[in-house]
């Protein structure tokens, strides 16, 4: 068995805000829609939709929708861990796992995101390692822009598609 060096990556960003605010930005519908998603639905085990300010919990499921993409391009998955303070883990594209860890160091808060279990893809145009790493890098930058300056960098113009062709 060969070691797949394309099976995981880690990206991180620093933020001039507190850990609690960053956790809320990831772990509530209202928070995650401000910087990442057009629409987020989080569902409890009995399939109740969580309220916008309500924290997600371990074993919740989700359905996510992005700006610039039709509703049939949604992402569905499960929350594997949500500890209520600084750690989230969820399933993501291709059966991969994303872990978000938020902590404070030297007067700033850090978001450290690891995506692992990324499947090998022979078609390089569908390479999740590259596509997800680019995506997360942008969205972590957008999180910083929204939290620190209230400027959303996402393209919300539906007439401009993501590839601009």
**Share of residues in the chain with pLDDT > 90 (%):** 76
pLDDT of residue 1: 43
Read off the pLDDT of residues 65-95 as tens digits, 9 standing for 90 and up.
999 888 888 999 999 999 999 999 999 998 9
DSSP bridge partners of 84: none
Task: Give the lowest-confidence range in 10-19, 36-45, 113-122, 154-163.
Answer: 154-163
Whole-number pLDDT of residue 73 = 87
- Quote the crossing angle between the two packed helices 19-27 and 128-149, to the nearest 10°: 130
**Residue 161 pLDDT grade (very low, low, confident, very high; cuts 50, 70, 90):** low
CATH top-level class of 9-149:
alpha beta
Comparing C-alpha atoms, which of 123, 84, 77, 68 is closest to residue 98? 77
pLDDT of residue 51 exceeding 70: yes
CB 71 within 8 A of CB 82: no
Which residues partner with 92 through β-bridges?
96
**Quick count: other Cβ atoms within 10 Å of Cβ 17?**
14
At 120-151, the pLDDT tens digits run: 877 766 688 888 999 999 999 999 999 999 99
Domain boundaries, the chain: 9-149
Q: What is the mean pLDDT of the chain?
A: 92
Q: Which residue has the higher pLDDT, 1 or 8?
A: 8
């Amino acid at each position: 068995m060969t070691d797949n060096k394309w099976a995981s990556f880690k990206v991180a960003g620093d933020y001039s805000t507190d850990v609690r605010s960053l956790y809320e930005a990831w772990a509530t519908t209202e928070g995650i829609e401000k910087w990442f998603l057009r629409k987020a639905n989080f569902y409890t085990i009995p399939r109740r939709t969580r309220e916008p300010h309500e924290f997600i919990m371990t074993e919740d499921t989700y359905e996510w929708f992005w700006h610039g993409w039709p509703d049939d391009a949604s992402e569905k998955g499960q929350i594997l861990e949500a500890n209520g303070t600084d750690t989230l883990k969820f399933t993501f594209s291709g059966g991969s796992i994303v872990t978000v860890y938020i902590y404070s160091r030297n007067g700033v808060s850090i978001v450290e995101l690891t995506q692992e279990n990324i499947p090998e893809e022979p078609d390089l145009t569908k390479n999740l390692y590259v596509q997800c790493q680019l995506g997360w890098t942008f969205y972590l930058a957008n999180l910083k822009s929204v939290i620190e300056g209230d400027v959303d960098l996402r393209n919300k113009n539906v007439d401009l598609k993501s590839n601009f062709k």
